[in-house]
Structure 1
């Protein structure tokens, strides 16, 4: 069974929407150990406790090879000079040793202070201020209402809700349009139908009522939805006892 995260209703395996409140159900998979149904983002199986985490493989740390010091062989005529340690054997393998006087001159030049480069004042250009990109306005649905035929009572459809629940008070889903005060309300289920607002359109769907939902005297199958147009006749239950007309709301 799949438990609805919204109303806690038990749904059969394979269901994608809650049978009670039509909320989208989380996707599931089978436990590789016991085969129980678990959510895709689960870290362990709630049936057998099998861990679903996989240890990430750690890559070995590669260290650089140690530097090898190579002692250069003294050239002819330079006997008595200290051996030179080559830090770069490939570049200095064929280097010619210098005389002591030349080495001292080079050492003095290396100790001379290096003149500092002239200071150049950095020019900072002001960052142009970018105006925020305007967000296009979302289309707003035109206001509509339901006219109860038996009592000639208009009921405004809340435009700020995306899903409007039609029914009677219950412990699962509170109705946004309560029909319990109308005559013959016993034919209406507590969780009967939903009106959904998507963009500028209104849709109605039956959510598993006992006596059905009828559009222009035709039964609306559970799971299907109907695009409402002004003048559509909505019957909640059999016998056309609780009837509404979908129409434009007065401005």
Structure 2
């Protein structure tokens, strides 16, 4: 049996085993750490995941290229708080309905609120956020879906050229659905990150019971 510094080989042969000096410095590695992949926020410089829709640090919107919304200021007197997108020449509104039929198709544990007249929300800018408010995260959507917990904080984005409207899902938990005025309830959500044109009287469904319809404001409807 080999002993000491010898290792077994062919009969009669010994192989020297190198003895490492415990005080010797470790050899330098030729490899260098690879730079983290992702995207840098143009607003605050924070590195984010490559597929991030919003900056984790400041809330910058990578999808629309707009600055984070801040509740403490407005860009124009007619703008929603913190919305820095250009104002619209004509006033549009979104009607928010509580839709029992949509609720029946969902699996929400929340009780359905009493349905009634729609909540009318003025749409004064060319880019608007649909979602739910979060003061702790400084999220103040232009179209606030209130108590509907099926709606994500940053759920979808509405954009317009002043005549046509588009809706874009921002990676919401439960998706964004669009159907025509006389179509049955939609079964398939629109693709995430792709603008979907919304026609006249089309219905947008989000969350557990919320239905939105976009239209021009009636004379005197919005002050």
TM-score by length of 2: 0.49
Tell me: higher relative CO, structure 1 or 2? Use CA pairs within 8 A at least 6 residues apart: 2
TM-score by length of 1: 0.44
User: Which structure: greater helix fraction?
Assistant: 1
